[in-house]
Amino acid sequence: MSLQPANSTTDAVVIKTGVTKTTCPYCGVGCGVLIEKTSDKVEVKGDPDHPSNFGRLCSKGSALGETVSLEGRLLEPRIHGKAASWNEALDMVASRFSATIAEHGPDSVAFYVSGQLLTEDYYVINKLAKGFVGTANIDTNSRLCMASSVAGHKRAFGSDTVPGCYEDLEQADLIVLVGSNAAWCHPVLFQRMMAAKEKNPDIRVVVIDPRRTQTCEGADCRCALVPTPFCSMVCCPISILLVSAIKPLWRSIPPALMQHWQPPAYSISLKLPAHAVCRKDRCSCSSIGLAKPAKW
């Protein structure tokens, strides 16, 4: 078994004897890794020249070398805990599917598919489900995991493409993390944010999350909101930005239109001083239009 990028076996580049330069196959960050195979093991470390991670790896990427061993793997079909041939296993699965469909119809079958497959693999499994079994009950983790994000991006930007790049996080003056424990869920990108903040102490990080997570340790302000005012929390800075953008054009807007619109008083309903904790002299609440609490 080899460690190759999921999209192509030709992307791996041997940079010196025994060392292969390739891509971590796990999440979408696309970290570069250096793989070195010795006589008894595979060693993995981050690629310092890769533009995604610059040598950083999360715990899953660091443990890639442990996944290539056959120890503990299922190497043959098993029926009721006992080893079986492929013909026996396939016959049993096919007969169970046939019996279930015959008794309950094709919609009694559902497929929940991995997010780690290739495009061709998804084509085949959809043909099996929709064309052969005759059920529309098929979905994949690759869609379910990102369904809300894709819907939001398409409504906001017209495409399910993220409108930014990793460098934007390092060049931003203000980073707002909403409900994201990036320190655990996106450790490589979080480390890049913290490294940028260390170089530029003027960068402010605001965490909006009812939980106190490890991400809060690197934040200047944590807004521990209860669920109810969350929409107001999001709309408040948007409203302030909207007012700022409209003011220069205020006189050109028809009075009949303006009399029906007033900036909503979101800060009143939020009662942020009771829900936010800020580091002294490092608070960014005013940067996003929020009242500034007094203590961390």
pLDDT 10s digits, 55-103: 999 999 999 988 888 888 889 999 999 999 999 999 999 999 999 999 9
Nearest to 192 by CA among 222, 218, 220: 218
Domain enclosing residue 91, as ranges:
79-142
- What's the whole-number mean pLDDT along residues 268-289? 46
Q: Which of 123-137, 150-164, 205-219 shows the lowest per-residue confidence on average (mean pLDDT)?
A: 150-164
CATH at 231: 3.40.228.10
Tell me the per-residue pLDDT of 11-33, one tens digit each, with 9 for 90 and over: 555 555 578 899 998 887 889 99
In a domain, 173, yes or no: yes
In a domain, 157, yes or no: no
Do 56 and 99 lie in a common domain?
no
| Helical H segments across the chain, by residue range | 59-62, 86-104, 119-126, 141-144, 147-157, 166-171, 182-185, 187-199, 230-246, 255-258, 266-270
Do 259 and 191 lie in a common domain?
yes
Do 91 and 112 lie in a common domain?
yes
Do 175 and 274 lie in a common domain?
yes
Sheet holding 13-16, edge to edge: 13-16, 19-23, 32-37, 42-46
* Structural domain count of the chain: 3
**Would you state the pLDDT for residue 270?**
43
- What's the whole-number mean pLDDT along residues 104-132? 91
Nearest to 179 by CA among 133, 132, 233, 141: 233
Do 188 and 104 lie in a common domain?
no
